[in-house]
Structure 1
Amino acid sequence: MAASLVVIIGGSMLGVSLWLRSVTGEVKRVDAFSEVPEADRPQKAEGAKGAMNFLLLGSDTRDPENQGGSRSDTIIVLHLDKNRSKAQMVSIPRDTWVFVPKSKNGQYGNTNAKINAAYAWGGVPLTVQTVERFTGVRIDHVAIVDFSGFREIVDALGGVEIDVTESFTSTHSLNPDGKRRFEKGVQTMDGAAALDYARERYAFKDGDFARIRHQQQVIKAILNKAASGGTLANPARLNSFLHATADSVTVDGTLNIFDMAMELRNLRGDDLSFFTSPTKGTGMMGSESVVLADDDKIKPFYDALREDQPLPAPTK
């Protein structure tokens, strides 16, 4: 979005366009859909033609083909309305108990499991299958953000401002002693602090739900900072931000990043609405602590998303 704003603001249109295209050329690509059986995929609702759905994954690996136990810690369905004026982000807790289809090699899946097991068992394609089956929403594009690169993105922006709603200590910090204290109130966080803030769950009674709220805060802060005058008017900072993003993100092979940026040039943080997939809270499946989906609310919730309609009130 920041890239497209530079084009709109002015300067040498040809020169800026070539520069932006060179940056987007650095982004790695993954085949997200060829292994997903078309017959099993949900179809777009007639009234939602033109709307677009992204699957956003936060992973601890940059390699989208790595299936050696790596799991997707963050799973978000991003819905862009057909007018490109609003966006809805639905976080699916990583421990949500769902049916995972059989992996391509036939060794995994075809069973109920935590939703983030799909990435470990079958990479991006199996994750797309699992999310589409769970939500009934057709995924158009996929983007994977590497957690270590996330830190570089925030640093390239000069930090982000976050309102910490309660004081806590992260016990899985990037600091040498593994701890970082966050005090209640508004503060500017560098990349390492923002990553610790977005990762922590053990310090809270509601665990992963608190982490989801913090991730949503950080996403909105990054979006607002990237589109701010301070970033756009600073060529060095803008260049660092775009290159850090390109180096940290993997997208599916069908996404035209430049054209998408142009389509989204008017979006701001206030145009984003954040939701959490409806759940009944936590429970046990055998020896595993899981998040239980609220079956009564899931269908109308995702039907609204599929039909490009306003979502019901946010639900934990």
Structure 2
Amino acid sequence: MSSEEQAGAAVPEKNLPAEGTDGPETTADAPGGKPRRRWLRITLISVVVLALIGIGGAVAAGFYLKSVESDIERFDAFDSIPEETRPEVVATGALNMLILGSDSRDPESTGGSRADTIILAHIPKDRSGAQLVSIPRDTWVSIPRTKQGRGGRDAKINAAYAWGGLPLMVQTVEQYTKVRIDHVMMVDFAGFTEIIDALGGIEINSAKKFTSIHPPFRTFQQGKQQMDGATALDFSRQRKQFADGDFTRIKHQQQVIKAILDKAASGGILANPTKLNSFVRATSSAVSVDKDMSLVDMAMDLRGLRGNDLTFMTNPTKGTGRVGSESVVFEDADKASSFYDAVRRDAVEEILSAGK
């Protein structure tokens, strides 16, 4: 089997580009004598996360952000994409962000490149909310060919990251949805353990009772339950016990993300320096952004959002099937076409209606 065939199967997923090392410069003001640039990067990245839960404006006002934003290490997501292949901007002022997630400590990980969570986040021009659309990693799509000759055929969508990294992943999502991507955020879901613990745990409502397939083989009861970071991460990893597999995994991930946002918005972390410090540090280790994103502008732009303003959806599909030896997810082409047309036009009511 060729390397492309291996990647197009259940793509052994990881490693996302590693965050670079920080400079040697230190300051006495940095907690524990940590490098100054590291601390400033932590602060800035966390402001974006806090902004998404509606309290970023208060934090942004308290930190000296503009002067240090240039110190943040970023990744390149767009430069190598031919401009003529990219969709045109239809709704000026709306934002579309591609959120790619990995789980670097997943017990099922076999190494290699991966993007096992793919979310297209649409933020309307009026900033009244955000719609987060999960695209199953096994969705069968056409992947563009790279200059190195990789791709150029149909495969599972997360093969794009294995074959061409971030640029090919962006190009593939843009070609599939015909939605122009403005920014990219990368999240290591394993880092959510520390974020959740910093918040004092989260509440999750499990649709059914089931037992984890990973040690220590936790049993999740049906109904509402409090989870610490390790338990919530375990909950979000499970898929093999369910008839719809990855679709349940996506629902669990969406539940965990929503619970984090709700807890952070209502948990009083701004009034608790210890909690805020822990949350800031944990967030920085889990999140990185593209080189063109202004964290300050994003924080101020989204300062009014609350967890209830976020709507989670899943890419329109016809279910699972097989292509040769591969188990894949087939899109519902007609529904997907009308859905992403609404996203392009920033037609929020149509997006919400089509996503039901």
| Same fold at TM > 0.5 | yes
Match of 1:78 among 121, 126, 133: 121
Hey, what's the Cα distance between the residues in 2 that align with 1:69 and 1:268? 36
Secondary structure of 1:303 counterpart: helix
Partner of 2:167: 125
Partner of 1:243: 281
Partner of 1:185: 223
Paired amino acid for 1:190: D
Contact 1:79/1:305 (CA < 8 Å) preserved in 2? yes
Give unmatched runs, 5+ long, in structure 2.
1-48, 106-110
- Figure out how many residues of one structure are paired with residues of the other and give that number: 298
Match of 2:297 among 259, 270, 286: 259
Greater shift in the superposed pair: 277-286 or 27-36: 27-36
Partner of 1:35: 80
Cα drift, residue 148 of structure 1:
2.3
Q: TM-score, normalised by structure 1?
A: 0.88
Match of 2:324 among 268, 274, 286: 286
Hey, what's the Cα distance between the residues in 2 that align with 1:92 and 1:280? 13
Partner of 2:250: 212
Partner of 1:151: 193
Hey, what's the Cα distance between the residues in 1 that align with 2:118 and 2:56? 30
Secondary structure of 1:35 counterpart: coil
Contact 2:145/2:151 (CA < 8 Å) preserved in 1? yes
Give unmatched runs, 5+ long, in structure 1.
63-67
Cα drift, residue 61 of structure 1:
4.8
Aligned identity (percent) is: 59
Cα drift, residue 58 of structure 1:
0.6
Cα drift, residue 229 of structure 1:
4.5
* TM-aligned CA distance change 1:6 to 1:303, over 3 Å: closer
Contact 1:51/1:79 (CA < 8 Å) preserved in 2? yes
Cα drift, residue 42 of structure 1:
0.4
Hey, what's the Cα distance between the residues in 2 that align with 1:87 and 1:297? 20
Greater shift in the superposed pair: 209-218 or 72-81: 209-218
Hey, what's the Cα distance between the residues in 1 that align with 2:198 and 2:354? 35
Q: TM-score, normalised by structure 2?
A: 0.79
RMSD after superposition: 2.2
Match of 2:206 among 164, 173, 176: 164
* TM-aligned CA distance change 1:104 to 1:199, over 3 Å: farther
Q: Deviations over 1:21-54 (max 9, x none)?
A: 7997786411000011110000111xx2100000
Hey, what's the Cα distance between the residues in 2 that align with 1:178 and 1:284? 33
* TM-aligned CA distance change 1:160 to 1:28, over 3 Å: farther
Partner of 1:65: none
Paired amino acid for 1:285: V
Hey, what's the Cα distance between the residues in 1 that align with 2:98 and 2:204? 25
Paired amino acid for 1:163: N
Contact 1:27/1:246 (CA < 8 Å) preserved in 2? no
Hey, what's the Cα distance between the residues in 1 that align with 2:161 and 2:56? 36
Secondary structure of 1:198 counterpart: helix
Hey, what's the Cα distance between the residues in 2 that align with 1:151 and 1:22? 31
